[in-house]
Amino acid sequence: MGKPGFPIPQPPLGAAGTPHRQGDGEPRVPHIFTSGCQAATEPKAQIMTTSTLNPARTLAELKELRALTGNADGAQRVAWTDTWARARAWYREKLAALPVSVETDEGGNLWATLRGASERALLIGGHLDSVPNGGWLDGCLNVLAGLEVLRRIAAEGTPPVTVRLVDWADEEGARFGRSLLGSSAFSGTLDPATVADLRDRDGITLPEALAAHGVALERMPDARRQQANAAAYLELHIEQGPVLEDLGLPLGVVIGTFGVERHRITFTGQAAHAGSTPMDRRRDAFAAAAKLGLEIRGIARRHGGVCTVGSCITRPGIVTAVVGECIVTLDQRHMDAEALVAMLQEAREAAGRFAAEEGCTVTWEPIWRIDPIPFHPELIAMGEAAIREVAGTAHRLPSGPLHDAAEVARAGIPTVMLFVQSLRGISHNKIEDTLEEHIILSVQALDRLADRAIAWIQGAAPAQ
């Protein structure tokens, strides 16, 4: 059960105020319709009505999907595999019960569109694909919570704006090493030429794997057409880190995704005999790299970011030789662009200093970088209000991992994410878990946020 510090969700009440059984039938949860993000300050404007939102169904469907596409080692819905296709076929069956049109775009993204009075569209997204031996919530919670919200909106008739639920293709990049594949096709940041030669462990190329699922790599950028009329994007995701659990909070609103600097750093000294080379005569490349590995912890702490040396290769790499060459990777992340620049600058200075101290030289080679991607301030405020409504307290936090939402935001579409607490902060692993009561709250929060966003889109729409 829950810890003190946040409300434990009450059992859903029927229309007559009586507790309703969950998991069968259609429990009705009291639902407050609000008009726009200012509604919280205008309680008179609120109309109490009932909603067909059934978060218990989301929980049941998550378990159904786990049974269908997981095994003893965890989720196996790796994109462009049969198991992933099975997950999508199962999901399509769920969509068939809704008054939506369903299409797969050139990027392999699966869209369900509920036409509204206006063409301007609220997008809600997630990804059914997982890493091998993955968790039961990463990505599919987003899709299935979105499905439940879509059902609730559809049950109320034609919505004022169009609502579209997207299952992004290959968020994880687990098979070919290129994550956010479908969403980058949508955002326009995917250059097919840069991924055409990617191969999986069995030597199958990315274009071959895509073709087996009806996707032509060179046409993937045409998925950009899906940006038409997109007015806002919402994504719920498990946190995959320990922050909310440490705070004792079920939910948080995400202010954006970290900027990332990734570099390969090569220290060069002199390989020498481990027995015959006196300590004061060594030019030990590993010693210089090791000093940097420790130094980056202080750099991260000083700036409030994160820094990681994730890989270290030594040459000649034998037990009887001083290391002549040491190659390490450095990954630095921060929500603030200037702080990220400062962290990189300090790491460069430190690497130069340590190289000199150890009689080595050092060179840097960029691997990849991305700017911090802040989410939309008004949507962040709406997300916060939605969380407060269902859970009492909201917390703002950045996202360390990148998500499809980052690609959508890069396309200039107002975006926000909600995080729900991850137990032990563990993800990409079969022990990934979230309390069921928190999953319920997360579906409710996404639903409230969707209502606010719809009202916001309406208000922002040009007069017709």
Residues of this chain that bind Zn ion (CB under 5 A): 138-139
The whole-angstrom separation of Cα 284 and Cα 273 is 11
The whole-angstrom separation of Cα 120 and Cα 153 is 16
User: Closer to Zn ion at the Cβ: 2 or 173?
Assistant: 173
User: Closer to Zn ion at the Cβ: 52 or 189?
Assistant: 189
As measured in angstroms, the least distance from the Cβ of 234 to Zn ion is: 15
- Check if the beta carbon of residue 424 is closer than 8 Å to that of residue 242: yes
- 412, HSE (Cβ side, Cα atoms, 13 Å): 5
User: Closer to Zn ion at the Cβ: 100 or 137?
Assistant: 137
As measured in angstroms, the least distance from the Cβ of 101 to Zn ion is: 26
User: Closer to Zn ion at the Cβ: 51 or 399?
Assistant: 399
User: Closer to Zn ion at the Cβ: 149 or 350?
Assistant: 149
- Check if the beta carbon of residue 181 is closer than 8 Å to that of residue 109: no
User: Closer to Zn ion at the Cβ: 30 or 173?
Assistant: 173
Other C-beta atoms closer than 10 Å to the C-beta of 418 total 24
As measured in angstroms, the least distance from the Cβ of 259 to Zn ion is: 19
CA dihedral 367, 370, 111, 107 (to 10 degrees): -40
User: Closer to Zn ion at the Cβ: 139 or 182?
Assistant: 139
Buried b / exposed e across 33-49, counting CB within 10 Å, b at 16+? ebebbebbeeeeeeeee
Angle at 434 between CA 428 and CA 435, to 5 degrees: 165
**Residue 51, SS3?**
strand
Helix axes 337-357, 285-303, angle to 10 degrees: 150
As measured in angstroms, the least distance from the Cβ of 403 to Zn ion is: 6
Place of tokens 């579906």: 443
DSSP codes joined into one string, 326-393: EEEEEEEEESSHHHHHHHHHHHHHHHHHHHHHTT-EEEEEEEEEE--EE--HHHHHHHHHHHHHHHS-
As measured in angstroms, the least distance from the Cβ of 297 to Zn ion is: 27
As measured in angstroms, the least distance from the Cβ of 411 to Zn ion is: 18
The whole-angstrom separation of Cα 231 and Cα 236 is 17
Structure tokens at 23: 């998991």
CA dihedral 187, 191, 194, 199 (to 10 degrees): 60
User: Closer to Zn ion at the Cβ: 177 or 377?
Assistant: 177
As measured in angstroms, the least distance from the Cβ of 281 to Zn ion is: 51
Question: Over the Cα atoms of the chain, what is R_g?
Answer: 25
DSSP codes joined into one string, 94-144: HHTTSS-EEEE-TTS-EEEEE--SEEEEEEEEE-----TTB-SSTTHHHHH
As measured in angstroms, the least distance from the Cβ of 237 to Zn ion is: 6
The whole-angstrom separation of Cα 104 and Cα 112 is 9
User: Closer to Zn ion at the Cβ: 432 or 447?
Assistant: 432
User: Closer to Zn ion at the Cβ: 131 or 355?
Assistant: 131
User: Closer to Zn ion at the Cβ: 143 or 355?
Assistant: 143
**Residue 231, SS3?**
strand
Residue nearest to Zn ion (CB): 139
As measured in angstroms, the least distance from the Cβ of 211 to Zn ion is: 25
The whole-angstrom separation of Cα 138 and Cα 47 is 35
As measured in angstroms, the least distance from the Cβ of 451 to Zn ion is: 24
